[in-house]
């Protein structure tokens, strides 16, 4: 028997623990999107709706965060409310931050990278969110490349998202993923979606038309010990998509404002999301919420299919 030292750091809600032990479908959800990605109280409302969407589609939701130094797999209502209300005051936690937040008994909202790590420790292999981090525009000079990309190449958790937002350099992000051996899958599309818009113009590596097809490729990957996750991209539903030219203009203005204010590093993504929401009078936030719900549904379907294989 191997002793799993990581277990001493984990608090898994009983419902989720039972589901893990019984091999039932589970979908992990991140918490940076709650604290840093959306304003209160919409963030808390959305987090609950996303959990319900996972349930309605046959899987158990596991929202992940670090609270009081404990790796939480599943949050109760008070914990969700606390994270949502605290917003930017909570530390945005990626891979590098986890040991320090844990050893100091502090709180952390987990990014895609950190959520993947904690999911894997708990034994969960699928995770739904809105968008991932990537190579930032001008990243060839700033070297601002999200730790999410490296995580996808190492950690055995696949991520369902709405593609890559054009606050990032989409082309370079895809090149990086290719180098790191991360497959980019398009759900019922040949094109990598661009978050608010249904297409970035870049092609996906593989198109899959059903949840079952995606589950089969993930099973093959994990069975063969090909470490790392796949990036499963799911375009925002047509009726909620924003006009690509309009949103591009707003993003460019937001990036200019960010540079003017000297905002860099981990503060860039939260700043840009908030600025874009402000400039679109909440339209981008509505789209963001709709696409996360859409991803939660697909993730639950894939999780259910994986359990049948």
Catalytic (active-site) positions: 30, 165
Confirm or reject binding of residue 32 to ligand PSU (CB under 6 A): yes
DSSP 262: T
C-alpha to C-alpha distance for 126 and 152, rounded to whole angstroms:
12
Which of ligand PSU, Mn ion, none is residue 62 near (CB under 5 to 8 Å by kind)?
none
Subset of residues 154 to 193 that bind ligand PSU, contact rule: CB under 6 A: 165
Out of 61, 87, 133, 183, point to the residue binding ligand PSU (CB under 6 A): 133
CA triplet 2, 224, 129: central angle to 5 degrees? 85
Nearest-Å Rg of the Cα atoms of the chain is 18
Spatial neighbors of 173 by CB under 8 A, at least 6 apart, are: 134, 135, 149, 164
Nearest 5°: the CA angle 30, 33, 35 is 105
Phi and psi at 194, nearest 5°, equal: -115, 45
The correct pick among 30, 97, 144, 148 for binding Mn ion (CB under 5 A) is: 144
Identify the residue among 19, 26, 37, 235 touching ligand PSU (CB under 6 A). Answer: 37
Q: Give the residue, chosen from 111, 189, 294, 295, that forms a contact with ligand PSU under the rule CB under 6 A.
A: 111
Minimum distance, C-beta of residue 255 to ligand PSU, in the bound complex (Å):
13
Contacts for 21 with CB less than 8 Å, ≥ 6 apart: none
Q: Residue number with the shortest CB distance to ligand PSU? A: 37
Name the residue nearer to ligand PSU (CB basis): 43 or 57: 43
Interface residue list for ligand PSU (CB under 6 A): 30, 32-33, 36-37, 111-112, 130-133, 146-148, 165, 266, 269, 273
């Amino acid at each position: 028997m191997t002793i799993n030292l990581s277990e001493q750091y984990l608090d898994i809600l009983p419902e989720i623990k039972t589901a893990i032990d019984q091999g039932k479908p589970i979908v992990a959800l991140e918490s940076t999107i709650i604290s840093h990605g959306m304003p209160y109280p919409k963030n808390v409302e959305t987090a609950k709706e996303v959990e319900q969407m996972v349930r309605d589609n046959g899987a158990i939701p596991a929202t992940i965060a670090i609270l009081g130094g404990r790796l939480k797999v599943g949050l109760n209502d008070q914990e969700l409310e606390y994270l949502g209300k605290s917003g930017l005051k909570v530390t945005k936690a990626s891979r590098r931050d986890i040991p320090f937040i844990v050893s100091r008994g502090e709180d952390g909202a987990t990014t895609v990278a950190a959520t993947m790590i904690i999911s894997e420790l708990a034994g969960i292999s699928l995770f739904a969110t809105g968008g991932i981090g990537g190579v930032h525009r001008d990243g060839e000079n700033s070297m601002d490349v999200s730790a999410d990309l490296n995580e996808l190449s190492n950690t055995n958790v696949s991520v369902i998202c709405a593609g890559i937002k054009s606050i990032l350099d989409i082309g370079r992000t895809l090149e990086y993923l290719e180098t790191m051996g991360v497959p980019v899958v398009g759900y019922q599309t040949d094109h990598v979606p661009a978050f608010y818009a249904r297409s970035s113009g870049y092609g996906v590596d593989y198109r899959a038309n059903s949840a079952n097809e995606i589950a089969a490729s993930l099973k093959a990957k994990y069975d063969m010990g090909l470490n790392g996750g796949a990036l499963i991209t799911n375009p925002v539903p047509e009726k909620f998509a924003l006009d690509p030219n309009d949103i591009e203009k707003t993003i460019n203005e937001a990036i200019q404002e960010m540079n003017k204010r000297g905002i860099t590093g981990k503060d860039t993504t939260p700043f840009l999301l908030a600025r874009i929401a402000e400039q679109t009078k909440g339209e981008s936030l509505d789209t963001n919420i709709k696409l996360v719900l859409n991803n939660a549904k697909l993730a639950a379907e894939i999780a259910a299919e994986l359990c049948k294989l």
